[in-house]
């Protein structure tokens, strides 16, 4: 039986952590095509959108992720690189523009002060904790990051690295 539904998101793992006034965002390098792992450390899934100011991590279908990133970059430019305003503008456009469709993508966006999760359905979430994760390994990475954040004095970068390592030990798509 054929289905019109797109495949379930099994793309990657991206983690963002804040600690001591610093933010770190990191991801695995694995690339999957359907059920097949075709690369383990080659993909660039984290990038600066505004040099030294705004970073983004992406999980999902590459074309959908790139489309969302492009739209967010446009909103950043239109809002003087203010991430909060750009994300709010993006969400308003999503809800009013009939050209938008459902994307198989998730983004984590962070600047010096705020972190946002943007989904391919137009949902924007500002996490309540100092750590957040997206992608197929998100439940594992988030649990690890929360435990590390709550129970250690590790910095943001080390929390991201260790939580990705833990997720990779558990999730075959990470």
- The pLDDT assigned to 167 comes to 94
Does the residue 2 lie in any domain? no
pLDDT tens digits, one per residue of 12-54? 899 999 999 999 999 987 666 666 666 655 667 888 989 889 9
Does the residue 3 lie in any domain? no
The Cα 98–Cα 90 span in angstroms is 13
CB 141 within 8 A of CB 131: no
Which residue numbers are catalytic?
A: 12
Q: How many Cα atoms sit within 13 Å of 145 on the Cβ side?
A: 32
pTM of the model: 0.85
Specify burial of residue 167 (Cβ count, 10 A radius: 0-12, 13-18, 19+). Answer: buried
Does the residue 146 lie in any domain? yes
pLDDT tens digits, one per residue of 54-88? 999 999 888 888 888 999 999 999 999 999 999 99
Does the residue 74 lie in any domain? yes
Check residue 45 and report its DSSP letter.
-
The CATH number given to whatever domain includes residue 89 is 3.60.20.10
Distance from the Cα of residue 173 to its chain's centroid: 15
Q: What are phi and psi of 80, to 5 degrees?
A: 50, 40
**Where would I find the beta strands (DSSP E) of 65-148?**
105-110, 115-119, 124-125, 131-135
Does the residue 156 lie in any domain? yes
Check residue 29 and report its DSSP letter.
B
- The pLDDT assigned to 28 comes to 85
Domains in the chain: how many in total? 1
Does the residue 136 lie in any domain? yes
Does the residue 5 lie in any domain? no
pLDDT tens digits, one per residue of 91-104? 888 777 766 677 88
Residue 61: domain span? 13-170
pLDDT tens digits, one per residue of 116-165? 999 888 889 999 999 999 998 999 999 999 999 999 999 999 999 999 99
Does the residue 1 lie in any domain? no
């Amino acid at each position: 039986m054929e289905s019109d539904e797109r495949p379930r998101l099994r793309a990657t793992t991206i983690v963002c952590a804040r600690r001591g006034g610093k933010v770190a965002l990191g991801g695995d390098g694995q690339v999957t095509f359907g059920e097949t792992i075709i690369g383990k450390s080659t993909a660039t899934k984290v990038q600066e959108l505004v040099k030294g100011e705004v970073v983004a991590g992406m999980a999902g279908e590459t074309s959908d992720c790139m489309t969302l990133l492009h739209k967010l970059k446009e909103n950043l430019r239109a809002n003087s690189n203010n991430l909060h305003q750009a994300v709010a503008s993006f969400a308003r456009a999503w809800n009013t523009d009939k050209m938008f469709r459902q994307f198989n993508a998730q983004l984590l966006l962070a600047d010096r002060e705020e972190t946002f999760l943007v989904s391919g359905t137009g949902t924007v979430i500002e996490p309540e904790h100092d750590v957040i994760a997206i992608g197929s390994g998100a439940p594992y990475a988030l649990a690890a990051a929360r435990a590390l954040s709550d129970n250690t004095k590790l910095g943001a970068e080390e929390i991201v690295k260790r939580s990705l390592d833990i997720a990779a030990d558990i999730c075959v798509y990470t």
